[in-house]
């Protein structure tokens, strides 16, 4: 990287809550945030927004008649973006910034609603197209915030949000922008989306375990991924700002040759490359923590672990993840992991996974790597540093 990028604000809405203090308390709580709902007559683990958070989204929907027809994925993004720029101190008269907010699936609820309508009537509603495009999220956030910079949306499956971070960093370092709003939003808890994941044989089951998702449990014998919903948005600024809550000092990305639609290699070559690129000349022993992608699948978790061992060898950092607690939020998962990393740096405390033995607890947190990967091996690694 040419120079460090400051994260001056970050905000989210997820099953953990809607404020930084509330979210940190939730992370320190060893309980998971999983509930069970019937899909296709089967009790299925999912992670929902709290009642308070759901009410906030409904209040937002009712603010403006134009918002009534929008998907939750858009409203999650708008809600988180409003708080993020407030945290960063981007005032009302200061709206010259770019936006890149992605989503893996986009408007899942509306897609299913409008497709069912078409099958039943042979016709489609007027708003079916404009409310289900991927550009919907960034464009509505830009409208809500009255920003004047570029608006970008994309889907790179589950690494979508960290690709948005990469894009924001590149725009800032190019000199074409001084500030960028980046993140991801996902509202995937719909019957068809759940059915798709179950068809892949990777979804957790309701088997009575205290922790239905066994992410980073290297001894698990079954896949235990489940879905959650939420969004997170970060404010990026060029250079080292006095109000920075963390610095981005390295970025890395890589892809693998596709052998199967959802697989990565057993040694996760893509992660090895992305982490090495993010690290560049950083001494391995300076990395305190890695927030893993670790979706809770047997092969996926182990492949990433193998990649970490291949890169760090005997200098293995402490490892953690949040998916055992809030599930896999697809395109938003990377930025929610980045938020966890920022909070650990802020409070100088390592968040453990309660059913995993942790051999190493870093005493002082200075540098953290955040990983994400999508179907087919689209890996991203971001190196964060304490300001």
pLDDT at 245: 98
Specify which residues 227 forms β-bridges with: 46, 328
Closest CA to 225 of 331, 84, 326, 376: 326
Q: Report the chain's mean pLDDT, rounded to a whole number.
A: 95
pLDDT digits (tens, 9 = 90+) for 208-260: 789 999 999 999 999 999 999 999 999 999 999 999 999 999 999 999 876 65
Mean pLDDT value of segment 124-153: 94
The most distant pair of C-alpha atoms in the chain lies apart, rounded to whole Å, by 62
**290 DSSP 8-state letter:** E
Reply yes or no on whether the pLDDT at 329 is more than 60: yes
Residue-range domain boundaries for the chain:
5-385
pLDDT digits (tens, 9 = 90+) for 143-182: 999 999 999 999 999 999 999 999 999 999 999 999 999 9
Reply yes or no on whether the pLDDT at 377 is more than 90: no
Yes or no: say if 320 and 353 are a contact pair by the CB < 8 Å rule. yes
**∠326-30-333 over CA atoms, to 5°?**
20
pLDDT digits (tens, 9 = 90+) for 30-84: 999 999 999 999 999 999 999 999 999 999 999 999 999 999 999 999 999 999 9
Closest CA to 379 of 284, 327, 311, 287: 311
pLDDT digits (tens, 9 = 90+) for 91-123: 887 899 999 999 999 999 999 999 999 999 999
Mean pLDDT value of segment 350-362: 91
**Looking at the domain 5-385, which fold is it?**
Peroxisomal Thiolase; Chain A, domain 1 (3.40.47)
Confidence of residue 262 (pLDDT cuts 50, 70, 90): low
Specify which residues 7 forms β-bridges with: 236
What distance in Å separates the CA atoms of residue 252 and residue 135, rounded to the nearest whole number?
Answer: 25
């Amino acid at each position: 990287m040419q120079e460090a990028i400051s994260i001056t604000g970050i905000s989210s809405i997820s099953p953990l809550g809607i404020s930084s203090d509330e979210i940190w308390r939730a992370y320190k709580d060893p309980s998971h945030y999983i509930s069970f709902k019937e899909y296709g007559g089967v009790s299925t683990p999912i992670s929902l927004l709290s009642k308070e958070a759901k009410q906030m989204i409904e209040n937002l929907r009712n603010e403006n008649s134009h918002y009534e027809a929008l998907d939750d994925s858009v409203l999650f993004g708008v809600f988180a973006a409003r708080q993020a720029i407030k945290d960063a101190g981007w005032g009302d008269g200061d709206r010259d910034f770019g936006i890149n907010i992605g989503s893996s699936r986009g408007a899942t609820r509306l897609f299913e609603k409008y497709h069912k309508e078409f099958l039943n009537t042979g016709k489609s509603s007027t708003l079916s197209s404009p409310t289900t495009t991927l550009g919907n999220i960034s464009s509505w956030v830009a409208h809500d915030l009255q920003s004047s910079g570029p608006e970008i949306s994309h889907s790179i499956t589950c690494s979508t949000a960290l690709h948005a971070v990469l894009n924001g960093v590149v725009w800032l370092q190019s000199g074409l922008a001084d500030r960028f709003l980046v993140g991801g939003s996902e509202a995937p808890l719909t019957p068809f989306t759940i059915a798709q994941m179950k068809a892949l044989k990777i979804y957790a089951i309701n088997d009575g375990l205290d922790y239905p998702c066994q992410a980073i449990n290297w001894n698990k014998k079954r896949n235990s991924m489940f879905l959650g919903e939420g969004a997170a948005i970060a404010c990026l600024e060029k250079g080292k700002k006095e109000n920075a809550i963390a610095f981005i000092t390295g970025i890395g990305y890589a892809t693998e040759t596709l052998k199967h639609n959802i697989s990565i290699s057993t040694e996760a070559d893509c992660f090895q490359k992305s982490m090495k690129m993010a690290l560049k000349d950083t001494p391995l022993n300076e990395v305190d923590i890695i927030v893993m992608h670790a979706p809770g699948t047997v092969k996926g978790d182990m492949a990433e672990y193998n990649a970490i061992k291949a890169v760090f060898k005997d200098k293995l950092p402490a490892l953690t993840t949040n998916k055992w607690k809030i599930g896999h939020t697809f395109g938003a998962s990377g930025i929610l992991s980045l938020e966890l990393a920022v909070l650990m740096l802020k409070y100088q405390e390592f968040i453990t996974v309660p059913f995993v033995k942790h051999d190493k607890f870093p005493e002082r947190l200075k540098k953290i790597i955040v990983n994400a990967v999508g179907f087919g091996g689209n890996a991203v690694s971001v190196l964060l540093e304490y300001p």
